């Protein structure tokens, strides 16, 4: 077909396009129209983001030196209340401009990009830089109550139906709290229509983890969490006099520390408005955990502050090892990855105008911060090593052992490539691959056992669904270096089938499937297998987890009948909910002991068919928390693992790493 023919065959617009077609969204309407642009999603992550927006304002008051306590209360009626003893949102009216006559509090709650963080003397450093925080919360709530204490007076302002003001800001009397003359309280009720996908029930653990991190990052700040939904109110107080030193100790609590001391230093450049706090400790494990924060915001993808720290760390440790004669003249320098093996570090910086890369603020882009942190680390860490020779020697010797293991892993990798054609041709014999060559539509089900694998093969769509049976429980990679892992047949099969390599070489863009689905029995053994698989993916193929390629299948644990229709229920919780909804149900419940006992039609309809199945996507929300969870679940500390499982059994439906 010629270009002329193409042009003549194109359809003409069916209606005029003019000024009448341009829609102008005013006030908070843009937030309700496109909530994902402001809070990331309308699922559970977005729901909890509402709390973070309000809490971050209180934390900014703490960083400015005006707030010593923050309370977060999940109320029995479904609302969330955040209160602090900071300065309180200003209540005086604007003297001029488009908002003349309106109180500052009213503007902050109803106008996007309004706040005290764009200049002036209100805040020197701040995490909330876009001025959309509390106004977005208002827009996505059915009701919001703002209470402000200023100079001993209490003011109140209420909003309903997504930010519509119910009356004006009013002074209602004296501040009711003794000793608190200033402060802000925000109580909001998320809109169930906006958050219809996953509901509006806050998850206690998710909130507590975030609040605990905030307390660690703000030395001495008292953060109190209360959950009023149960008969007995749950109350937890987070306050750390050691700040990020306590944070490092907490992250290493489930690991075996190489030594008890924590290296800590803080440096400030008042003229440039930059400050860096760094805490470091090594453990006997094999994975590094460097967690960066900028103005209290978790920079999960690192940035300039983390780059500066890494560069200085490698330089200082190599110089120390040379000066002390531990590394001989003919020996090669230790690589950064060798030195960072088993290291836990917090790099927390504060600066006036942070530049974050991406909408999620996951990476700090301020170039001057790199040299600032690098110089600070060069000086302070060198002094610490000289002052602590016993600890310094342990670090260097561990790094040398890591270098030797790295070379062994390289040889093992090459051996695996030769044996299994890791770099190209040949797939594991037991892999039943799909016919599609498009990774975006291809799915790999990892199934425990040959019996269940056979059923899954019959149940699959062979065009886009591949099946890889694994035998028993794979190696616990939390306790193994890469060279040992690569000798394990099941792990070899996983690496070969998925593609993209392994460890530091892993490239998610080369993965052969964009859905890697762990399909195991709905019992304790199945949970263990899933955890082992997730540990492997998180530690050795982390970019794949970050890309959202890892999922958990949800096979049912029970079945029953309503009339002639068979009903499947995921677990005990689903069974209890079913009985609560149908208290007169008389049919017995059949417990499905394993995937191998289901016929292929049942497995397809309940677990594998995209039209009827439910999958849980594994995500990395907070790197430090994910690192801690993996260490607790798969490390050597049995008591910590038991306590974690017992404490969080109620929230297992929300599997976010």
What positions carry a catalytic annotation? 448, 521, 523, 525
Residue 387 CA, distance from chain mean position: 37
362: closest CA among 409, 406, 277, 299?
A: 299
Residue 386 CA to residue 107 CA, distance in Å, equals 55
Q: What Cα–Cα distance (Å) separates residue 137 from each residue in 54, 122, 160, 295, 334?
A: 8, 22, 12, 21, 49
Residues 6+ apart with CB under 8 A from 619: 45, 545, 548, 656, 657
- Find the distance separating the first CA and the last CA of the chain, reported in whole Å: 52
Contact between 117 and 133 under an 8 Å Cβ cutoff? The reply is: no
Task: Give the strands of the sheet with 297-299, arranged side by side.
Answer: 263-269, 274-282, 343-351, 289-294, 297-299
Percent helix, strand, coil in the chain (nearest 5)? 40, 20, 40
8-state DSSP, 303: B
Q: Which of 313, 346, 388, 340 is CA-nearest to residue 242?
A: 346
Contact partners, residue 355, CB within 8 Å, separation at least 6 = 364, 365, 366
Cα-based distances in Å from 93 to 61, 98, 169, 370: 21, 12, 10, 42
Residues 6+ positions from 499 with CB-CB distance below 8 Å: 510, 511, 512
> Cα-flanking dihedrals φ and ψ of residue 506, to 5°?
-65, 135
Yes or no: say if 281 and 353 are a contact pair by the CB < 8 Å rule: no
């Amino acid at each position: 077909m010629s270009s002329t023919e193409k042009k003549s065959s194109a359809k003409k617009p069916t209606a005029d396009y003019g000024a009448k077609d341009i829609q102008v969204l005013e006030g908070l309407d843009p937030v309700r129209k496109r909530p994902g642009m402001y809070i990331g999603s309308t699922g559970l992550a977005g729901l909890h983001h509402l709390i973070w927006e309000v809490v971050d304002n209180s934390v900014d008051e703490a960083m400015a030196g005006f707030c010593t306590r923050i309370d977060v209360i999940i109320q029995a009626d479904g609302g969330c209340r955040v209160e602090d003893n900071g300065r309180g949102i200003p209540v005086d009216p604007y003297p001029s401009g488009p908002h003349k006559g309106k109180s500052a509090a009213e503007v902050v709650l109803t106008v996007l990009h309004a706040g005290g963080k764009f200049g002036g003397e209100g805040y020197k450093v701040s995490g909330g830089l876009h001025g959309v925080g509390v106004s977005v919360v208002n827009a996505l709530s059915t009701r919001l109550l703002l209470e402000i204490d200023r100079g001993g007076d209490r003011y109140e302002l209420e909003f309903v139906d997504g930010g519509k003001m119910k009356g004006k800001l009013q002074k209602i009397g004296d501040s009711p709290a003794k000793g608190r003359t200033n402060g802000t309280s925000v109580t909001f009720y998320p809109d169930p229509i906006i958050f219809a996908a996953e509901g509006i029930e806050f998850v206690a653990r998710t909130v507590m983890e975030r609040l605990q991190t905030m307390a660690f990052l703000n030395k001495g700040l008292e953060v109190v969490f209360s959950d009023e939904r149960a008969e007995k109110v749950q109350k937890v107080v987070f306050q750390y006099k050691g700040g990020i030193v306590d944070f490092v100790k907490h992250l290493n609590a489930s690991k075996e520390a190489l030594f008890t001391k924590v290296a800590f230093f803080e440096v400030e450049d008042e003229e440039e408005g930059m400050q860096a706090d760094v805490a470091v400790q090594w453990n006997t494990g094999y994975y590094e955990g460097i967690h960066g924060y900028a103005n209290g915001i978790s920079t999960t993808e690192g940035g300039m502050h983390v780059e500066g720290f890494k560069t200085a760390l490698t330089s200082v440790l190599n110089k120390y090892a040379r000066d002390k004669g531990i590394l001989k003249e003919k020996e090669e320098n230790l690589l950064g990855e060798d030195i960072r093996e088993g290291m836990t570090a917090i790099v927390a910086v504060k600066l006036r105008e942070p530049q974050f890369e991406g909408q999620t603020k996951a990476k700090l882009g301020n170039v001057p911060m790199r040299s600032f942190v690098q110089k600070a680390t060069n000086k302070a860490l060198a002094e610490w090593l000289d002052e602590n020779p016993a600890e310094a020697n342990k670090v260097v010797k561990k790094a040398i052992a890591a270098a030797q293991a790295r070379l062994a892993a390289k040889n093992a990798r090459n051996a695996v490539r030769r044996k299994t054609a890791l770099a190209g041709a040949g797939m594991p014999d037991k892999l039943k691959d799909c016919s599609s060559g498009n990774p975006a539509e291809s799915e790999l089900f990892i199934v425990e056992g040959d019996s269940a694998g056979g059923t899954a093969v019959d149940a699959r769509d062979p065009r886009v669904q591949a099946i890889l049976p694994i035998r028993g429980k794979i190696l616990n990679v939390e306790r193994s270096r890469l060279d040992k892992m690569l000798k394990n047949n099941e792990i070899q099969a996983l690496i070969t089938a998925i593609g993209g390599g392994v460890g530091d070489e892993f490239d998610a863009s080369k993965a052969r499937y964009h859905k890697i689905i762990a399909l195991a029995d709905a019992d304790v053994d199945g949970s263990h297998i899933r955890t082992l698989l997730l540990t492997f993916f998180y530690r050795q193929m982390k970019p794949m987890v970050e890309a959202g390629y890892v999922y958990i299948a949800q096979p049912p644990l029970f079945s029953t009948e309503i009339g002639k229709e068979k009903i499947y229920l995921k677990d005990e919780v689903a069974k209890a909910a079913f009985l609560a909804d149908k208290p007169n149900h008389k049919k017995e419940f059949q417990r499905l002991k394993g995937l191998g006992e289901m016929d292929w039609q049942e497995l397809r309809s309940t677990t594998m068919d995209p039209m009827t199945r439910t999958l849980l996507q594994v995500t990395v929300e907070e790197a430090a928390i994910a690192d801690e969870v993996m260490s607790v679940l798969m490390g050597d500390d049995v008591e910590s693992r038991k306590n974690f499982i017992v404490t969080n059994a109620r929230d297992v439906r929300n599997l976010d790493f």
